[in-house]
Amino acid sequence: MSLSERMLKIDRRIIFLVIGLCTLLPLLYPVGLPIKISSEVRGVYDHIESLPEQSVFLLSIDFDPASKPELYPQAIALLRHAFRKHLRVVTMTLWVSGTGMADQLVTQVAKEMGKEYGTDYAFLGWSPGGQAVIINMGQDLYSAFPSDYSGKSTKDLPVLDGVRSLKDVGYMVSLGAGRPGVEEWYVFGKDKYKFDLGGGCTGVMAPGLYPLLRSGQINGLIGGLRGAAEYESLIGQKGKAVAGMDAQSATHLAIILLVIMCNLFYFSLRQQRG
C-alpha cells in the first residue's frame, strides 16, 4: 500500500485528536483576533438599540443543553443588551428539556444587571404544544401561560402591564436549535400576528435561515458562536463566545488543511494509477 493510500485510509481517531488539540490549545492560550461585525447580527443589535425604554422584549430560549455552547452566549449577550436598554424583558422556552437551563440563564444575567423579578423581567417557563403555544400567545398570552415558571399568576406581573398578546410585543427574538424555533415563530407568530422578529441559531442551521433574512421575514440573524462573539463585541462585553472564536478559527483552519491534504493524496494516487 502506497503512502497516499495509507494516508487516505488514516484512522479517524487521529483526525479527532487533531481537532481536539485545535480546540483545547487556543482555549488555554487565547490570541484574541479582532472580529468583524456582519450586517445580519447588526440587524438584531440595531433594532434593540432603536427600542424606547420600557418596550417589551420577548426572548424565546428554544434550545436544550446540547446546543448550550453556541446559543447560551447569544442569550447572555442579548439579555445584557436588553437590560442595559431598560426594556421589559419577558423570557420563555418551547423546549421542555431547556427549561431549567433557561431559568438559570435569565436569573443569572438579571442578578448581574441588578434587575428585579416581576418588574423588570419574567420567565414564563415552558408550555406544552410547540407551535400551538405560539398561536395561543398570539390570541391570548395569559391563556398560553396562566402562570410563570415559579407558579405566580402572569396577570399579576407588572412587567406584562399592557401586554395581552404577541401583537403588544415590541421585539421578539427566538434562539432556536431546531423545531420549534425561528421558522415556527415566523410562520405561526409574525406572519399571523405581525410583530418584529429576529433570530439566533446554531452555526449548522444558519445557512438554512438566510432565505428568511434576505426576504425580510426576520430582521437579523445571530448564527452560531461567531454570531454570539459579534454580539458580545457590539455590546462591548466580551465573554465566552469571543474566547471560543480562537478555538473555532483553529479548527476551521485544521479542517481546511485536512481537506487540502486529502486532495493532494487523492491526486497523487490517481497519478500513480494513471
Partner 1 sequence: MAAVQGGQRIFSPVLVAGPSPDWFNWNQLNNLIIALSFGGLVFYSISYAKRHEIFLRRIPGLDAVDEAIGRATELGKPILYLTGAHDLHDPSTIAAAVILGKVAKRAALYETELLVPHREPITMAVCQEITKQAYLEAGKPDLFKEDANFFITADQFSYTAAVDGIMLRKKPAANFFMGAYFAESLLLTETGASTGAIQIAGTDSDHQLPFFVTTCDYTLIGEELYAASAYLSKEPVQIGTLRGQDIGKAVVLSAIGIGIVLATVGAVTGAQWPQLFLDLLRDLK
Partner 2 sequence: MIFLRRQLPLLITLVTGLLFAAQYYVPHPASEQMLTSATKWLQIVGGFALILGVTSLFHQHAVKIRRQEAGWGYSLVLYVGMLGTIAVGLWANGKESVEGTMTAFGWIYNYMMVPLQGTMFAILAFFIASAAYRSFRAKSREAAVLLVAAVIVMMGRVPLGEYLIPLSGDVSSWILNVLNSSVRRAILIGVSLGAVALSFKIIFGVERSYLGGGKE
Residue 196 CB, nearest approach to partner 1 (Å): 20
Residue 77: all three cell numbers together: 449577550
By beta-carbon proximity to partner 2, the closer residue of 24 and 153 is: 24
First-to-last alpha carbon distance for the chain, in angstroms, is 16
By beta-carbon proximity to partner 2, the closer residue of 65 and 161 is: 65
Stretch that binds partner 2, among 13-21, 48-56, 75-83, 113-121 (CB under 8 A): 13-21
Stretch that binds partner 2, among 29-37, 52-60, 78-86, 166-174 (CB under 8 A): 29-37
- Nearest-angstrom CA–CA distance, 70 and 120: 26
Phi/psi region, residue 124 (left: phi>0; alpha: psi -120 to 50; beta: rest), is alpha
- Nearest-angstrom CA–CA distance, 180 and 47: 23
- What does 11-78 look like in DSSP terms, one character per residue? -HHHHHHHHHHHHHHHHHS------PPPHHHHHHHHHHHHSPTT-EEEEEEE--GGGHHHHHHHHHHH
By beta-carbon proximity to partner 1, the closer residue of 64 and 148 is: 64
Does residue 66 interact with partner 2 by CB under 8 A?
Answer: yes
Q: Are 84 and 116 in contact (CB under 8 A)?
A: no
Does residue 135 interact with partner 2 by CB under 8 A?
Answer: yes
Give contact residues for partner 1 (rule: CB under 8 A): 12, 64, 66-67, 97, 177-179, 202, 204-205, 207-208
Helix (H, G, I), strand (E, B) or coil at 100: helix
Does residue 2 interact with partner 2 by CB under 8 A?
Answer: no
By beta-carbon proximity to partner 1, the closer residue of 12 and 36 is: 12
Interface residue list for partner 2 (CB under 8 A)? 10, 12, 15-16, 18-20, 23, 33-36, 38-39, 64-69, 97, 100-101, 103, 128-129, 131-132, 135-136, 139, 143, 203-204, 206-208, 210-211, 213-214, 226, 245-246, 248-256, 258-259, 261-263, 266-267
